[in-house]
Structure 1
Amino acid sequence: MSGDGRKGNHWFDDEAGPVVRPYAMTRGRTSHAAQHRMDLIAVVVAEPGMRDPEADHALSPEHVDIVERCRDAPRSVAELAAGLDLPVGVVRVLIGDLMDGEYVRVRRPVPPAQLPDESILRDVINGLRAL
C-alpha cells in the first residue's frame, strides 16, 4: 500500500470505500429547470400520500435519503446538503428530480419585507385586548 491510502491503482481509501463522484449522482447534470426556485433557505417538503420512493428504481439512494429526511419535518436546501455531505449544486439537481416525480415540493420562505411590521402586530394585540 502506498503512503497516500491507495492500494494498487484503486482510487479509494481503504476505510472510506469507493467514492461516488457528484456528477455520477446527477448523471452528468449540473442544473435543473426548477433550480431558480432553490436558494439555500428554500424549504423542501415531502408530498403527503406519496408512493414509496424505495420502490422507484429510477431513484438513487441519495434521492430516497432526501425524501426520508423531509418526511418528519421540512428541511432547507442548505440543511439537506450539510446532512448528506454533498455539494449544494448536486442536492439541487436531486431535489429537482424529486419534484418531477412529485415526491417533494419546494417552498420559498416569506421574504422579511413581506412580513407584517412588529408595531402593527402590537397595535392589533392592543386593540384586541381593548375589546
Structure 2
Amino acid sequence: MTARRDSRRLVPEFLATAGRARPTRNTLDRLTVLYATGETVPDGLEPPERRLVEIALEAVVLAEAAAHLRLPVSIVRVLVSDLMDRGHLKMRAPVPAALQHEPQLLERVLSGLRAVR
C-alpha cells in the first residue's frame, strides 16, 4: 500500500516572498515574457527564485512559470520583480492584441500549406 501524498504545501506560498504581497514593478502581466540575463543560475538564490531562473533560461511566459512552480501568479510576480531588480531576469511585454494575426488568416495559410504538399 502506498502512502497518499497530501496536495497541500508544507510551506505557505507567501513565505516564498518573505511575506510581501506586492511586486516592486506594476508592469508585469500574465503574458509577460521572461528570460534570464545569464547562461547559468547565479548562486545565493532561494529555491523558488533558483527554479524561476532555471525555467527562464529559455524564454517563458509569467503564467507558465507560475504553473511550473505551482505557485499563484501573484506570488511569482513578486519573485520576478525581485529578480529583475537584482539583474537576474529581463522581461518583454506581451504582443498587443492589435498586432496579433487574425485566426482566420492563419487558418487560410495553414490550408494553403497543406494543399501544396
Say whether residues 1:103 and 2:88 are aligned partners.
Answer: yes
Shift, 1:115, TM fit: 5.2
Cα distance change of structure 1 residues 40 and 74 upon mapping to structure 2, 3 Å threshold: same
Aligned with 1:29 (options 20, 43, 47)? 20
Shift of 1:18: 6.8
State how far apart, in whole Å, the 2-side matches of 1:116 and 1:81 are: 26
Quick one: percent identity of the two aligned structures?
Answer: 33
Match of 1:82 in 2: 67
Question: Rg bigger for which structure?
Answer: 1
SS of aligned partner of 1:105: strand
Report how far residue 101 of structure 1 moved. 1.0
Equivalent residues of 1:37, 1:106 under 8 A apart: no
Count, aligned residues: 100
Structure-2 change in CA distance of 1:29 and 1:113 (3 Å): same
RMSD (Å) for aligned C-alpha atoms: 2.7
Query: In the TM superposition, what whole-angstrom CA distance separates every residue of 1:10-45 from its partner, at most 9, and x where no partner exists?
Result: xxxx845971111211111001121x2111111111
Name the CA distance, whole Å, in 1 between partners of 2:36 and 2:97.
25
CA shift, 1:109, in A, is: 1.7
Give unmatched runs, 5+ long, in structure 1.
1-13, 119-131
**TM-score normalised by length of structure 2:** 0.73
The aligned counterpart of 1:46 is 36
The separation in 2 between residues aligned to 1:18 and 1:93, in whole angstroms, is: 19
Secondary structure of the residue aligned to 2:56 is helix
CA drift at 1:114: 3.6
- Distance in 2 (alpha carbons) for counterparts of 1:78 and 1:68: 15
TM-score (norm 1): 0.66
Seen in structure 2, the aligned counterparts of structure 1 residues 61 and 115 have a Cα distance that, compared at 3 Å, is same
Deviation at 1:81, TM superposition (A): 0.7
